[in-house]
Amino acid sequence: MRLSLSFVALALSAFVSADPLQTVLGLQDNTDSAGLSSQNQLLERIEEFSELTSDPVELYKLVDPAGAADLDEPRLLHIWGIQDSEENAEWVTEGDKLRLHQQGIKFTDTTETQDLGKKNALKALAVTEFPKISYGTQVRDVISHLSAHNMQDNLEKLTSFFNRFYKSENGGASSHWVYSQVLDIIAKAPPSTPLSLRKFTHTFPQSSVIARFEPKYPSPNKTAAVIIGAHQDSANYRFPLLPAPGADDDGSGTVTILEAFRALVDRGFTPEYPVEFHWYAAEEGGLLGSRAVAAEYESLGRDVRAMIQFDMTAYTKQSHTPTVAFITTDVNTPLTEYTISLAEEYADYPVQRAKLFPGAGSDHMSWHRAGYPGAFATEGDPFTEFDPYIHTSNDTMYLADGEFSFEHALEFSKVAVAFAVELGGWV
Protein backbone atom coordinates (compact mmCIF):
# COMPACT_ATOMS: atom_id res chain seq x y z
CA MET A 1 0.00 0.00 0.00
CA ARG A 2 1.29 3.46 -0.84
CA LEU A 3 0.32 6.36 1.36
CA SER A 4 0.70 10.03 0.63
CA LEU A 5 3.13 12.16 2.58
CA SER A 6 0.35 14.27 4.00
CA PHE A 7 -1.01 11.09 5.54
CA VAL A 8 2.42 10.55 7.04
CA ALA A 9 2.31 13.93 8.77
CA LEU A 10 -1.16 13.18 10.06
CA ALA A 11 -0.16 9.75 11.25
CA LEU A 12 2.79 11.17 13.14
CA SER A 13 0.62 13.43 15.25
CA ALA A 14 -1.99 10.75 15.77
CA PHE A 15 0.16 8.28 17.71
CA VAL A 16 -1.11 7.92 21.25
CA SER A 17 1.30 7.56 24.13
CA ALA A 18 -0.48 5.11 26.44
CA ASP A 19 0.22 1.61 25.16
CA PRO A 20 -0.87 -1.48 27.08
CA LEU A 21 1.57 -3.56 25.00
CA GLN A 22 4.57 -2.11 26.76
CA THR A 23 4.24 -4.33 29.81
CA VAL A 24 3.72 -7.38 27.61
CA LEU A 25 6.81 -6.68 25.56
CA GLY A 26 8.99 -6.47 28.68
CA LEU A 27 11.61 -4.47 26.84
CA GLN A 28 14.79 -3.19 28.41
CA ASP A 29 14.27 -3.41 32.14
CA ASN A 30 16.59 -0.51 32.82
CA THR A 31 14.37 1.98 31.02
CA ASP A 32 11.69 3.88 32.88
CA SER A 33 8.09 3.68 31.72
CA ALA A 34 8.46 6.90 29.72
CA GLY A 35 11.36 5.25 27.87
CA LEU A 36 9.30 2.15 27.18
CA SER A 37 6.43 4.18 25.89
CA SER A 38 8.64 6.17 23.54
CA GLN A 39 10.29 2.92 22.39
CA ASN A 40 6.86 1.54 21.53
CA GLN A 41 5.90 4.72 19.74
CA LEU A 42 9.05 4.35 17.71
CA LEU A 43 8.13 0.77 16.78
CA GLU A 44 4.70 1.93 15.70
CA ARG A 45 6.19 4.69 13.57
CA ILE A 46 8.58 2.23 11.92
CA GLU A 47 5.75 -0.16 11.17
CA GLU A 48 3.58 2.61 9.78
CA PHE A 49 6.26 4.20 7.59
CA SER A 50 7.48 0.80 6.38
CA GLU A 51 4.36 0.77 4.24
CA LEU A 52 5.65 3.83 2.41
CA THR A 53 9.14 2.63 1.59
CA SER A 54 11.33 -0.43 1.81
CA ASP A 55 14.49 1.68 1.58
CA PRO A 56 16.08 1.93 5.07
CA VAL A 57 17.49 5.39 4.34
CA GLU A 58 14.13 6.88 3.31
CA LEU A 59 12.51 5.11 6.24
CA TYR A 60 15.06 6.50 8.69
CA LYS A 61 14.47 10.02 7.39
CA LEU A 62 10.74 9.62 7.99
CA VAL A 63 10.98 7.95 11.37
CA ASP A 64 13.79 9.97 12.94
CA PRO A 65 14.91 12.93 10.80
CA ALA A 66 17.41 14.14 13.41
CA GLY A 67 19.01 10.68 13.74
CA ALA A 68 19.12 10.39 9.93
CA ALA A 69 21.07 13.65 9.53
CA ASP A 70 24.35 11.87 8.71
CA LEU A 71 23.00 9.34 6.21
CA ASP A 72 24.09 11.30 3.12
CA GLU A 73 27.66 11.73 4.37
CA PRO A 74 30.39 10.05 2.30
CA ARG A 75 32.05 6.93 3.74
CA LEU A 76 34.87 4.84 2.34
CA LEU A 77 33.91 1.16 2.49
CA HIS A 78 35.61 -2.10 1.73
CA ILE A 79 32.59 -4.27 0.94
CA TRP A 80 33.42 -7.87 1.78
CA GLY A 81 32.99 -10.34 -1.00
CA ILE A 82 32.50 -7.49 -3.51
CA GLN A 83 35.89 -5.77 -3.54
CA ASP A 84 38.76 -8.17 -3.00
CA SER A 85 40.81 -5.84 -0.81
CA GLU A 86 40.77 -2.70 1.25
CA GLU A 87 42.88 -0.99 -1.40
CA ASN A 88 39.83 -1.09 -3.64
CA ALA A 89 37.50 0.49 -1.09
CA GLU A 90 34.72 2.65 -2.58
CA TRP A 91 33.15 5.92 -1.57
CA VAL A 92 29.47 5.44 -0.78
CA THR A 93 27.27 7.03 1.89
CA GLU A 94 26.55 6.34 5.53
CA GLY A 95 23.02 5.38 4.44
CA ASP A 96 24.41 2.80 2.02
CA LYS A 97 25.68 0.90 5.06
CA LEU A 98 22.04 0.30 6.03
CA ARG A 99 21.24 -0.86 2.50
CA LEU A 100 24.16 -3.30 2.61
CA HIS A 101 22.97 -4.63 5.97
CA GLN A 102 19.52 -5.20 4.53
CA GLN A 103 21.14 -7.36 1.86
CA GLY A 104 23.18 -9.19 4.50
CA ILE A 105 26.49 -7.83 3.18
CA LYS A 106 29.17 -6.79 5.64
CA PHE A 107 31.89 -4.22 5.14
CA THR A 108 34.80 -2.40 6.71
CA ASP A 109 34.37 1.35 7.15
CA THR A 110 37.87 2.69 6.53
CA THR A 111 36.97 6.40 6.38
CA GLU A 112 38.88 7.49 9.50
CA THR A 113 41.51 4.74 9.42
CA GLN A 114 42.70 4.66 5.81
CA ASP A 115 46.33 4.33 6.87
CA LEU A 116 45.82 1.37 9.20
CA GLY A 117 48.88 -0.87 8.93
CA LYS A 118 51.01 1.52 6.87
CA LYS A 119 53.29 2.60 9.72
CA ASN A 120 53.74 -0.93 11.01
CA ALA A 121 54.56 -2.15 7.51
CA LEU A 122 57.66 0.08 7.60
CA LYS A 123 59.07 -1.38 10.78
CA ALA A 124 59.94 -4.85 11.88
CA LEU A 125 57.46 -5.89 14.53
CA ALA A 126 58.78 -8.38 17.03
CA VAL A 127 58.20 -11.85 15.66
CA THR A 128 56.28 -13.72 18.29
CA GLU A 129 57.68 -17.05 19.26
CA PHE A 130 54.77 -18.94 20.64
CA PRO A 131 55.79 -20.48 23.93
CA LYS A 132 55.50 -24.11 24.87
CA ILE A 133 52.37 -24.90 26.86
CA SER A 134 53.61 -24.65 30.43
CA TYR A 135 51.02 -23.25 32.81
CA GLY A 136 48.76 -26.29 33.12
CA THR A 137 48.26 -26.01 36.87
CA GLN A 138 47.33 -22.32 36.78
CA VAL A 139 45.15 -22.56 33.65
CA ARG A 140 43.20 -25.52 35.02
CA ASP A 141 42.71 -23.78 38.35
CA VAL A 142 41.22 -20.69 36.67
CA ILE A 143 39.10 -22.83 34.35
CA SER A 144 37.65 -24.69 37.34
CA HIS A 145 36.33 -21.34 38.59
CA LEU A 146 34.46 -20.45 35.38
CA SER A 147 30.69 -20.35 35.69
CA ALA A 148 28.12 -20.81 32.93
CA HIS A 149 25.57 -19.41 35.36
CA ASN A 150 27.39 -16.06 35.53
CA MET A 151 27.41 -15.95 31.74
CA GLN A 152 23.69 -16.55 31.63
CA ASP A 153 22.99 -13.79 34.19
CA ASN A 154 25.16 -11.35 32.27
CA LEU A 155 23.62 -12.22 28.93
CA GLU A 156 20.10 -11.84 30.31
CA LYS A 157 21.00 -8.28 31.24
CA LEU A 158 22.88 -7.51 28.03
CA THR A 159 20.03 -8.74 25.82
CA SER A 160 17.49 -6.71 27.81
CA PHE A 161 18.69 -3.55 26.08
CA PHE A 162 16.25 -2.75 23.30
CA ASN A 163 19.21 -2.91 20.95
CA ARG A 164 22.91 -2.09 21.22
CA PHE A 165 23.05 0.04 18.09
CA TYR A 166 26.30 1.97 18.38
CA LYS A 167 24.86 5.29 17.18
CA SER A 168 21.96 5.29 19.65
CA GLU A 169 21.47 6.07 23.33
CA ASN A 170 20.78 2.35 23.80
CA GLY A 171 24.23 1.54 22.44
CA GLY A 172 25.78 4.10 24.75
CA ALA A 173 23.92 2.69 27.75
CA SER A 174 24.82 -0.91 26.92
CA SER A 175 28.51 -0.06 26.63
CA HIS A 176 28.33 1.73 29.94
CA TRP A 177 26.80 -1.40 31.44
CA VAL A 178 29.72 -3.49 30.15
CA TYR A 179 32.12 -0.92 31.60
CA SER A 180 30.42 -1.01 35.01
CA GLN A 181 30.47 -4.83 35.09
CA VAL A 182 34.20 -4.81 34.44
CA LEU A 183 34.66 -2.12 37.09
CA ASP A 184 32.76 -4.27 39.63
CA ILE A 185 35.08 -7.19 38.92
CA ILE A 186 38.16 -4.99 39.26
CA ALA A 187 36.86 -3.56 42.54
CA LYS A 188 36.93 -7.08 44.00
CA ALA A 189 40.44 -7.91 42.73
CA PRO A 190 43.08 -9.09 45.19
CA PRO A 191 45.33 -6.13 46.12
CA SER A 192 48.37 -7.70 44.41
CA THR A 193 46.69 -7.63 40.97
CA PRO A 194 47.54 -4.44 39.06
CA LEU A 195 44.63 -3.70 36.76
CA SER A 196 43.51 -0.73 34.74
CA LEU A 197 40.28 0.09 32.93
CA ARG A 198 39.64 2.49 30.12
CA LYS A 199 36.58 3.73 28.32
CA PHE A 200 37.80 4.25 24.75
CA THR A 201 35.42 6.87 23.41
CA HIS A 202 34.46 7.26 19.78
CA THR A 203 32.68 9.87 17.66
CA PHE A 204 29.38 8.01 18.32
CA PRO A 205 27.66 7.36 21.70
CA GLN A 206 28.96 3.81 22.21
CA SER A 207 32.42 3.40 23.75
CA SER A 208 34.84 0.50 23.52
CA VAL A 209 35.95 -0.89 26.88
CA ILE A 210 39.53 -1.95 27.61
CA ALA A 211 40.62 -3.74 30.79
CA ARG A 212 44.28 -4.50 31.31
CA PHE A 213 46.33 -6.72 33.60
CA GLU A 214 49.58 -4.83 33.98
CA PRO A 215 52.73 -6.97 34.03
CA LYS A 216 53.81 -7.62 37.59
CA TYR A 217 57.46 -6.76 36.85
CA PRO A 218 57.43 -4.52 33.76
CA SER A 219 60.28 -5.41 31.41
CA PRO A 220 61.38 -3.50 28.31
CA ASN A 221 61.40 -6.85 26.48
CA LYS A 222 57.85 -7.72 27.45
CA THR A 223 55.74 -4.73 26.52
CA ALA A 224 53.77 -6.37 23.70
CA ALA A 225 50.13 -6.88 24.69
CA VAL A 226 48.10 -10.07 24.59
CA ILE A 227 44.57 -9.06 23.55
CA ILE A 228 41.29 -10.95 23.96
CA GLY A 229 38.32 -9.35 22.21
CA ALA A 230 34.59 -9.50 21.48
CA HIS A 231 32.12 -6.96 20.15
CA GLN A 232 29.45 -5.60 22.45
CA ASP A 233 27.22 -3.87 19.87
CA SER A 234 24.29 -5.54 18.12
CA ALA A 235 22.40 -4.74 14.95
CA ASN A 236 19.05 -5.44 13.39
CA TYR A 237 19.91 -5.61 9.70
CA ARG A 238 16.34 -4.96 8.59
CA PHE A 239 16.36 -1.54 10.23
CA PRO A 240 18.75 -0.23 12.90
CA LEU A 241 16.12 1.18 15.27
CA LEU A 242 14.33 -2.17 15.62
CA PRO A 243 15.00 -4.56 18.52
CA ALA A 244 18.33 -6.38 18.33
CA PRO A 245 18.92 -8.58 21.39
CA GLY A 246 22.16 -9.84 19.81
CA ALA A 247 22.34 -12.82 22.17
CA ASP A 248 24.68 -14.84 20.00
CA ASP A 249 26.10 -11.99 17.90
CA ASP A 250 27.98 -11.01 19.90
CA GLY A 251 26.45 -11.03 23.36
CA SER A 252 27.81 -14.56 23.67
CA GLY A 253 31.41 -13.48 22.97
CA THR A 254 30.97 -10.49 25.28
CA VAL A 255 29.98 -12.63 28.26
CA THR A 256 32.44 -15.40 27.28
CA ILE A 257 35.41 -13.09 27.72
CA LEU A 258 33.84 -11.27 30.68
CA GLU A 259 33.65 -14.58 32.54
CA ALA A 260 37.25 -15.45 31.59
CA PHE A 261 38.30 -12.01 32.85
CA ARG A 262 36.36 -12.43 36.11
CA ALA A 263 37.90 -15.83 36.85
CA LEU A 264 41.44 -14.58 36.08
CA VAL A 265 40.97 -11.60 38.41
CA ASP A 266 39.45 -13.83 41.06
CA ARG A 267 42.46 -16.19 40.94
CA GLY A 268 44.95 -13.33 41.18
CA PHE A 269 46.42 -13.57 37.67
CA THR A 270 49.72 -11.64 37.47
CA PRO A 271 51.18 -11.86 33.95
CA GLU A 272 54.63 -11.12 32.57
CA TYR A 273 53.19 -9.33 29.53
CA PRO A 274 50.28 -6.90 29.58
CA VAL A 275 47.07 -8.86 29.00
CA GLU A 276 44.08 -6.89 27.76
CA PHE A 277 40.38 -7.61 27.38
CA HIS A 278 38.61 -5.52 24.73
CA TRP A 279 34.87 -5.10 24.28
CA TYR A 280 34.54 -3.29 20.97
CA ALA A 281 31.91 -0.79 19.96
CA ALA A 282 30.44 -0.65 16.47
CA GLU A 283 31.69 -3.86 14.89
CA GLU A 284 28.45 -3.83 12.93
CA GLY A 285 29.18 -0.30 11.71
CA GLY A 286 32.15 -1.66 9.75
CA LEU A 287 34.65 -2.58 12.52
CA LEU A 288 34.73 1.06 13.62
CA GLY A 289 35.58 0.40 17.26
CA SER A 290 38.39 -2.10 16.78
CA ARG A 291 39.94 -0.14 13.91
CA ALA A 292 40.07 3.00 16.04
CA VAL A 293 41.74 1.07 18.87
CA ALA A 294 44.19 -0.73 16.55
CA ALA A 295 45.03 2.55 14.80
CA GLU A 296 45.82 4.18 18.14
CA TYR A 297 48.11 1.31 19.15
CA GLU A 298 49.88 1.51 15.82
CA SER A 299 50.31 5.29 15.97
CA LEU A 300 51.73 5.05 19.51
CA GLY A 301 54.19 2.40 18.33
CA ARG A 302 52.73 -0.25 20.63
CA ASP A 303 53.42 -3.87 19.90
CA VAL A 304 50.86 -6.66 20.15
CA ARG A 305 52.00 -10.20 20.88
CA ALA A 306 48.74 -11.87 19.95
CA MET A 307 45.05 -10.99 19.52
CA ILE A 308 42.05 -13.32 19.49
CA GLN A 309 38.43 -12.43 18.75
CA PHE A 310 35.45 -14.38 20.09
CA ASP A 311 32.41 -13.68 17.91
CA MET A 312 29.40 -16.01 18.40
CA THR A 313 30.14 -18.77 20.88
CA ALA A 314 26.79 -20.25 21.95
CA TYR A 315 24.71 -21.36 18.96
CA THR A 316 24.70 -25.12 18.45
CA LYS A 317 23.06 -26.43 15.31
CA GLN A 318 20.69 -29.29 15.96
CA SER A 319 22.02 -32.78 15.22
CA HIS A 320 25.57 -31.40 14.94
CA THR A 321 28.28 -32.11 17.51
CA PRO A 322 29.20 -28.79 19.14
CA THR A 323 32.80 -27.77 18.53
CA VAL A 324 35.31 -25.02 19.14
CA ALA A 325 36.01 -23.69 15.65
CA PHE A 326 38.93 -21.61 14.45
CA ILE A 327 38.73 -19.57 11.29
CA THR A 328 41.70 -20.10 8.98
CA THR A 329 41.11 -17.25 6.51
CA ASP A 330 42.22 -13.63 7.08
CA VAL A 331 44.08 -14.62 10.24
CA ASN A 332 47.65 -15.17 11.40
CA THR A 333 48.25 -18.86 10.69
CA PRO A 334 50.99 -19.62 13.27
CA LEU A 335 48.92 -17.95 16.02
CA THR A 336 45.81 -19.84 14.91
CA GLU A 337 47.65 -23.16 14.96
CA TYR A 338 49.11 -22.34 18.38
CA THR A 339 45.66 -21.43 19.72
CA ILE A 340 44.26 -24.69 18.33
CA SER A 341 46.89 -26.51 20.37
CA LEU A 342 45.71 -24.58 23.46
CA ALA A 343 42.09 -25.53 22.75
CA GLU A 344 43.07 -29.17 22.28
CA GLU A 345 44.86 -29.06 25.61
CA TYR A 346 42.28 -27.21 27.70
CA ALA A 347 38.82 -27.35 26.08
CA ASP A 348 36.60 -30.41 26.34
CA TYR A 349 34.75 -30.14 23.02
CA PRO A 350 36.29 -31.21 19.72
CA VAL A 351 38.23 -28.53 17.84
CA GLN A 352 37.79 -27.83 14.13
CA ARG A 353 39.26 -25.54 11.50
CA ALA A 354 36.83 -23.67 9.24
CA LYS A 355 36.87 -21.12 6.44
CA LEU A 356 34.82 -17.96 6.46
CA PHE A 357 32.70 -17.01 3.48
CA PRO A 358 33.47 -13.70 1.78
CA GLY A 359 31.23 -11.15 3.42
CA ALA A 360 31.78 -12.31 6.98
CA GLY A 361 34.43 -11.51 9.58
CA SER A 362 35.04 -9.71 12.82
CA ASP A 363 37.30 -7.39 14.81
CA HIS A 364 40.46 -9.52 14.64
CA MET A 365 40.63 -8.33 11.00
CA SER A 366 41.40 -4.82 12.26
CA TRP A 367 44.48 -6.13 14.09
CA HIS A 368 45.43 -8.34 11.19
CA ARG A 369 45.21 -5.32 8.89
CA ALA A 370 47.33 -3.29 11.31
CA GLY A 371 50.08 -5.91 11.04
CA TYR A 372 49.54 -7.65 14.37
CA PRO A 373 48.89 -11.39 14.76
CA GLY A 374 45.13 -12.05 14.96
CA ALA A 375 43.05 -15.22 15.40
CA PHE A 376 39.31 -15.87 15.40
CA ALA A 377 37.36 -18.42 17.45
CA THR A 378 33.68 -19.15 16.79
CA GLU A 379 30.89 -21.64 17.50
CA GLY A 380 30.99 -23.74 14.33
CA ASP A 381 31.67 -23.98 10.63
CA PRO A 382 30.10 -20.86 9.10
CA PHE A 383 29.29 -22.75 5.90
CA THR A 384 27.30 -25.55 7.51
CA GLU A 385 26.46 -24.51 11.06
CA PHE A 386 25.64 -20.81 10.74
CA ASP A 387 23.27 -19.22 13.22
CA PRO A 388 20.19 -18.22 11.16
CA TYR A 389 18.83 -15.84 13.83
CA ILE A 390 21.60 -13.25 13.99
CA HIS A 391 20.94 -9.65 12.98
CA THR A 392 17.20 -10.11 13.67
CA SER A 393 14.93 -9.64 16.66
CA ASN A 394 15.06 -13.44 17.02
CA ASP A 395 18.71 -13.56 18.13
CA THR A 396 17.74 -14.37 21.70
CA MET A 397 19.06 -16.84 24.27
CA TYR A 398 15.69 -18.61 24.36
CA LEU A 399 15.99 -20.99 21.45
CA ALA A 400 14.44 -24.43 21.26
CA ASP A 401 16.17 -27.68 22.24
CA GLY A 402 19.59 -26.56 23.40
CA GLU A 403 20.32 -24.54 20.28
CA PHE A 404 21.64 -21.81 22.56
CA SER A 405 24.15 -23.39 24.91
CA PHE A 406 26.09 -21.74 27.72
CA GLU A 407 28.08 -24.95 28.08
CA HIS A 408 29.21 -24.43 24.51
CA ALA A 409 30.13 -20.80 25.27
CA LEU A 410 32.02 -21.91 28.37
CA GLU A 411 34.40 -23.90 26.17
CA PHE A 412 35.46 -20.57 24.64
CA SER A 413 35.99 -19.04 28.08
CA LYS A 414 38.46 -21.87 28.68
CA VAL A 415 40.30 -20.97 25.46
CA ALA A 416 40.34 -17.30 26.48
CA VAL A 417 41.85 -18.18 29.87
CA ALA A 418 44.48 -20.41 28.25
CA PHE A 419 45.32 -17.71 25.69
CA ALA A 420 45.76 -15.10 28.46
CA VAL A 421 47.95 -17.27 30.67
CA GLU A 422 50.05 -19.24 28.16
CA LEU A 423 50.83 -16.14 26.04
CA GLY A 424 50.88 -13.63 28.90
CA GLY A 425 52.87 -15.76 31.33
CA TRP A 426 52.24 -15.87 35.06
CA VAL A 427 54.72 -14.71 37.68
Ligand X SMILES: *[C@@H]1O[C@H](CO)[C@@H](O)[C@H](O)[C@H]1NC(C)=O
Which residue from 23, 134, 196, 393 is in contact with ligand X, where contact means CB under 6 A?
Answer: 393
Q: Is 221 in the site for ligand X (CB under 6 A)?
A: yes
23 binds, among ligand X, Zn ion, none (CB under 5 to 8 A by kind): none
Question: In sequence order, what are the beta bridge partners of 78?
Answer: 108
The answer to whether 241 touches 64, Cβ cutoff 8 Å, is yes
CB of 17 to ligand X, least distance (A): 26
Residues near ligand X (CB under 6 A), total? 6
Residue span 268-307 as binding mask against ligand X, x where in contact by CB under 6 A, dash where not: ----------------------------------------
Kindly state the smallest distance separating residue 108's Cβ from ligand X, in Å.
26
What are the backbone dihedrals phi and psi of residue 258, each rounded to the nearest 5 degrees, phi first? -65, -40
**How far is it, in rounded angstroms, from Cα 317 to Cα 169?**
34
Residue range at the interface with ligand X (CB under 6 A); choices 188-196, 216-224, 354-362, 369-377: 216-224
Contact 210, 200 (CB under 8 A): yes
* Of 181, 392, 405, 413, the one binding ligand X by CB under 6 A: 392
CB of 404 to ligand X, least distance (A): 14
Which one of Zn ion, ligand X, none is in contact with 249 (Cβ closer than 5 to 8 A by kind)? Zn ion
Q: How far is the CB of 221 from ligand X (least distance, A)?
A: 4
Give which of Zn ion, ligand X, none residue 48 binds (C-beta under 5 to 8 Å, depending on kind).
none
Pairing state of beta strands 275-280 and 208-213?
Answer: antiparallel
Spell 39-54 as b/e; 16+ CB within 10 A means b.
bbbbbebbebbbebee
DSSP string, 27-94: --TTS-HHHHHHHHHHHHHHHHHTTT-S-HHHHHHHH-TTGGGGTTSEEEEEETTTSSSGGG-EEEEH
Q: Are 172 and 298 in contact (CB under 8 A)?
A: no
With CB under 5 to 8 Å by kind, the binding choice for 394 among Zn ion, ligand X, none is ligand X
Report in angstroms how near the CB of residue 399 gets to Zn ion at its nearest: 17
Going from the C-alpha of 41 to that of each of 37, 45, 52, 163, 164, the distances in angstroms are 6, 6, 17, 15, 18
Q: Does 217 bind ligand X (CB under 6 A)?
A: no
Query: Minimum distance between the CB of residue 273 and ligand X, rounded to whole angstroms?
Result: 12
80: left (phi over 0), alpha (psi -120 to 50) or beta: beta
Give the whole-angstrom CA distance, residue 280 versus residue 111: 18
Stretch that binds ligand X, among 89-97, 138-146, 217-225, 398-406 (CB under 6 A): 217-225
Cβ–Cβ < 8 Å for 170, 150: no
* DSSP element (H, E) containing 134: none
Q: Is 394 near ligand X (CB under 6 A)?
A: yes
**Could you say which residues in the range 62-121 bind ligand X, by CB under 6 A?**
none
Please report how close the Cβ of residue 204 comes to ligand X at its closest, in angstroms. Answer: 25
Site membership for Zn ion, residue 249 (CB under 5 A): yes
Angle formed at CA 426 by CA 276 and CA 191, multiple of 5 degrees = 75
Could you tell me the smallest distance in angstroms from the CB atom of residue 80 to Zn ion?
12
Label the pairing between strands 304-310 and 74-79.
unpaired
| 219 or 318: CB nearest ligand X | 219
The listed partner (ligand X, Zn ion, none) that binds 233, CB under 5 to 8 Å by sort, is none
Does 54 engage in binding with ligand X (CB under 6 A)? no
Nearer to ligand X (CB atom), residue 191 or residue 220: 220
Residues in contact with Zn ion by the rule CB under 5 A: 249
Residues in contact with ligand X by the rule CB under 6 A: 219-221, 392-394
